[in-house]
């Protein structure tokens, strides 16, 4: 993978940070993109200190101009990006009757518009190279979750987006898959505990009781699955949604 370049969005922390470090240890040059510039710089420094190649930049994935400029910068600094992990995400949870249209739009903009803009920019390099991998972060919430009308619609939307890109890009050597995590311990789920007024420990304990493997997930669980999906050997796996949730989901 020495010459292969991977982009990870939302790479400042949580799942994105773990995926970025894992792909670097798999041998990819990695571009870490996020709203939080200092955190992605720190992540890139860690990769470089470990002997890898990395680039970090501030990016709002929902801003078309920024996306096109930063993807071109990645190509300049590291080489043609052929792996894309659409991971950036936000929550704006509320019951439907309390959900504002700006809560709706914010979630759609980051998850759906962001994945669309990033994939459109990166496919130009992938189709030219005749090889590529796109992995979109969906969620078990795509199957429905109280208080997440916006998020569940966006995550289900990403599954349709994944399958469509798989159909369109397959002939160029590009596979497109989605990972749908269950409960993963990150700042996102810690913020959910805070919003619910319970401790993060109690939220994790309660969640683990409903998970067949009897624990919540870690960012590394997702990084491991992403590592497989972007590998050379996964070239015949495309258009799939892999639930990484410690048990079966419908
Ligand atoms: P997280 O800890 O909240 O990290 C998300 C990262 O995305 C943050 O660094 C955030 O930056 C960044 N981000 C948000 N909006 C962005 C934008 N417009 N442009 C660029 N970066 C942006 O979340 P996580 O738990 O690691 O989740 C990662 C992905 O997995 C998300 O798509 C999430 O929906 C999905 N997922 C998570 C879980 C879970 O249980 N944790 C389960 C299923 C799916 P700032 O906060 O600095 O703004």
For ligand 1, whether the C-beta of 16 sits within 6 Å is yes
CB–CB of 173/131 below 8 Å? yes
**How far is Cα 224 from Cα 167, in angstroms, rounded to an integer?**
25
Q: Which of 28, 55, 151, 243 is catalytic?
A: 151
Selection from 180, 206, 209 nearest residue 193 by Cα: 206
Rounded to 5 degrees, φ, ψ at 36 are -90, 95
Coil/strand/helix, residue 8: strand
* 126 close to ligand 1 (CB < 6 Angstrom): no
Please give the DSSP secondary-structure letter assigned to residue 51: T
* Domains in the chain: boundaries: 5-182+225-243, 183-216
- 134 near 158, Cβ under 8 Å? no
Contact 13, 187 (CB under 8 A): yes
CB 138 within 8 A of CB 162: yes
Q: How far apart are CA 130 and CA 35, in angstroms?
A: 30
The answer, as to whether pTM is greater than 0.85, is yes
- The Cα 245–Cα 125 span in angstroms is 32
Q: To test the ligand 1 pocket, which listed residue (33, 43, 58, 88) has its Cβ within 8 A of the most ligand atoms? A: 88
Alpha carbons 102 and 104: distance in angstroms, whole number: 5
pLDDT for residue 250: 64
Q: Is 151 a known active-site residue?
A: yes
Residues of the chain with pLDDT under 70: 1-2, 250
Q: What is each CA distance from 6 to 30, 77, 148, in whole angstroms?
A: 5, 12, 30
Query: What local confidence, expressed as pLDDT, does residue 249 receive?
Result: 82
Contact present, 223 and 192 (Cβ < 8 Å): no
93 lines ligand 1 (CB under 6 A): no
pLDDT at res. 153:
98
CATH class assigned to 5-182+225-243: alpha beta
């Amino acid at each position: 993978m020495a010459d292969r370049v991977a982009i990870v969005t939302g790479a400042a922390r949580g799942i994105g940070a773990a995926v970025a470090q894992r792909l670097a240890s798999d041998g990819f040059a990695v571009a870490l993109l996020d709203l939080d510039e200092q955190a992605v710089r720190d992540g890139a420094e860690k990769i470089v200190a470990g002997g890898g190649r990395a680039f970090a930049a501030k990016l709002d994935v929902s801003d078309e101009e920024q996306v096109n400029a930063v993807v071109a910068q990645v190509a300049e600094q590291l080489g043609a990006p052929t792996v894309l992990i659409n991971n950036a995400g936000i929550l704006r949870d509320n019951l439907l009757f309390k959900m504002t249209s700006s809560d709706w739009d914010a979630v759609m903009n980051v998850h759906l518009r962001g994945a669309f803009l990033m994939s459109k920019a990166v496919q130009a390099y992938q189709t030219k190279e005749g090889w590529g991998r796109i992995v979109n972060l969906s969620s078990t919430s795509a199957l429905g979750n109280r208080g997440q009308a916006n998020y569940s619609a966006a995550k289900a939307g990403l599954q349709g987006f994944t399958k469509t890109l798989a159909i369109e890009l397959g002939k160029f050597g590009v596979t497109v898959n989605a990972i749908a995590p269950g409960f993963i311990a990150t700042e996102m789920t810690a913020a959910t505990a805070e919003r619910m007024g319970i401790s993060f420990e109690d939220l994790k304990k309660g969640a683990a009781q409903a998970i067949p493997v009897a624990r919540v997930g870690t960012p590394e669980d997702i990084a491991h699955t992403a590592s497989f999906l972007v590998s050379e050997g996964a070239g015949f796996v495309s258009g799939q949604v892999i639930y990484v949730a410690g048990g079966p989901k419908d």
